[in-house]
Amino acid sequence: MIPLGDETRRPSRFPVVTAAIIAVNALVFVLELVNGDAFVARWSAVPADIVAGRHPETLLTSMFMHASWSHIIGNMVFLWAFGPEIEEAMNPVRYAAFYLVGGVVAMLAQVAADPASTIPGLGASGAIAAVMGAFLITYPRDRIRSLLFFGWFARVAYIPAVLLIGFWFLTQLFSLGAVADVQSGGVAYLAHIGGAIFGAVFARLFEDPRRLAEAANDD
């Protein structure tokens, strides 16, 4: 199942921040491929290091890194499906802050779950989970246009956001292939949960009332 976008509404403005986030993730992934394990190890977040006060900047850098092609492609597809509407609801500046804070909160949730772990954590899943949590609060009844696969056959279906996001949580528990010798860790799902909770709780705080009023008038 691949989300293609929100069928219920369309952003009235190009999602500059969402596009920029995708571009940065792609650039960093190229750097991972070129520079290998040493680059990944340096900029990924290691819980034991964070707890010891070492490399706190990795709480930010790790959210722009990915462990495999399937990891980055899956994350960016989901971000493009949900991000533009939330960017419009918040405005670009608030949305950028929301995304970054959500990613940090998600990584801190993983650190808290296993503070002694030396397994590097990386990926945008926690920040994207925050976007999805916000989506369910801001647009709970929207239908997501999705591509469903049945063996060799595919069809487009319109799925309630809550069901599609639930499926996303399951798929994010698995990572196929790796570009570096980095393990995914057994408690990574807590980063997704932490990000989603942050998004759901703080979505209203980041929303721009003027943007929402414009959207309501357009409806």
Whole-model pTM: value is 0.88
Question: Which residue, chain included where needed, has tokens 């279906």?
Answer: 157
In angstroms, rounded to a whole number, what is the distance separating the alpha carbons of residues 198 and 126? 10
In angstroms, rounded to a whole number, what is the distance separating the alpha carbons of residues 26 and 34? 13
Domain of residue 131, CATH code: 1.20.1540.10
Both structure tokens of 179? 């570009």
What is the pLDDT, as a whole number, of residue 200?
Answer: 92
Query: Is the confidence at residue 183, as pLDDT, over 80?
Result: no
Query: Is the confidence at residue 1, as pLDDT, over 90?
Result: no
Better-scored residue on pLDDT, 166 or 150: 150
**pLDDT confidence band for 172 (50 / 70 / 90):** low
Residue 56 neighbours by CB under 8 Å, 6+ apart: 50
Q: Which domain holds residue 15?
A: 2-218
Residue 105 neighbours by CB under 8 Å, 6+ apart: 126, 130, 194, 195, 198
pLDDT tens digits for range 109-146: 989 988 998 988 899 989 999 999 999 899 988 999 99
Q: Would you report the helix, strand and coil content of the chain in percent, each value rounded to 5?
A: 60, 10, 25
Taking alpha carbons only, the member of 31, 32, 35, 138 closest to residue 94 is 138
Question: Which residue, chain included where needed, has tokens 């009235």?
Answer: 12
Query: Is the confidence at residue 218, as pLDDT, over 80?
Result: no
Both structure tokens of 194? 């932490």
How many domains is the chain built from?
1
3-state secondary structure of 150: strand
In angstroms, rounded to a whole number, what is the distance separating the alpha carbons of residues 176 and 75? 13
CA dihedral 194, 200, 205, 206 (to 10 degrees): 80
The identity of residue 50, as a single letter, is I
What is the pLDDT, as a whole number, of residue 6?
Answer: 93
pLDDT tens digits for range 7-44: 998 888 999 999 999 999 999 999 999 999 999 999 99
Both structure tokens of 153? 């056959």
